[in-house]
Amino acid sequence: AGLGGIGLDTSREIVKSGPKNLVILDRIENPTAIAELKAINPKVTVTFYPYDVTVSVAETTKLLKTIFASLKTIDLLINGAGILDDYQIERTIAVNFTGTVNTTTAIMEFWAKRKGGPGGVIANICSVTGFNSIYQVPVYSASKAAALSFTNSLARLAPITGVTAYSINPGITRTPLVHKFNSWLDVEPRVAELLLEHPTQTTLECAQNFVKAIEANKNGAIWKLDLGRLDAIEWTK
């Protein structure tokens, strides 16, 4: 989701850093945001395709075929779709976890070195809740832990696939996501309010550190982006 809270600020920072192309896949079209991104750096070609991460691997592969046909090479895939609403159990798992797995699986068709592909890099947006759950939203926290575990495995499979991976784990960031959301079984009606009593960071701080992590390009890194800092976390074996 390149046009959401952290996503849009990250897209802005990526465009400033000057790649040749930025392709944004999102469920909701936002022509104003796309126009703004194009204006930041006219040297970067920004394109948009409507995409819902909950579609099948086959459906995703079809869209990727179109994108690869027009671009020839893609170096980096960012899986960034996420929802925070523990009333919606199936959708939380579908968007936060299954979507990441399916999109990754689909791109392997084009990237995996066993298929003669060039390899590539995957950055998965997980969350600090992946290693320290917000227990009032156990479904959300578990979906992020699953995405984190999946990413750690991808990194270790790099010698076979040629595809490297790392996770981006933001702390509490002031986005529309955290202002109002539902806890599981209503165990805590004030969960959003309580969360925002903690120190937070802005989406801009988070985005700037995200771009630093992209530039570091470290396979297997578990990046923690919290309180305006970027730190590599050591996974306890």
pLDDT tens sequence for the chain (237 residues): 566 778 899 999 999 999 999 999 999 889 999 999 999 999 999 999 999 999 999 999 999 999 999 998 999 999 999 999 999 999 999 999 999 999 999 999 999 999 999 999 999 999 999 999 999 999 999 999 999 999 999 999 999 999 999 999 999 998 877 888 999 999 999 999 999 999 999 999 999 999 999 999 999 999 999 999 999 999 776
Choose the catalytic residue: 49, 87, 135, 140: 140
Instruction: Map residue 190 onto helix, strand or coil.
Output: coil
CA atoms of 215 and 209, how far apart (whole Å)? 10
pTM of the model: 0.96
Known catalytic residue at 140: yes
* Neighbouring-strand partners of residue 232: 223
All domains of the chain in start order, with CATH: 5-233 (3.40.50.720)
Helix intervals (H) in 123-217: 138-156, 158-161, 176-179, 191-195, 203-216
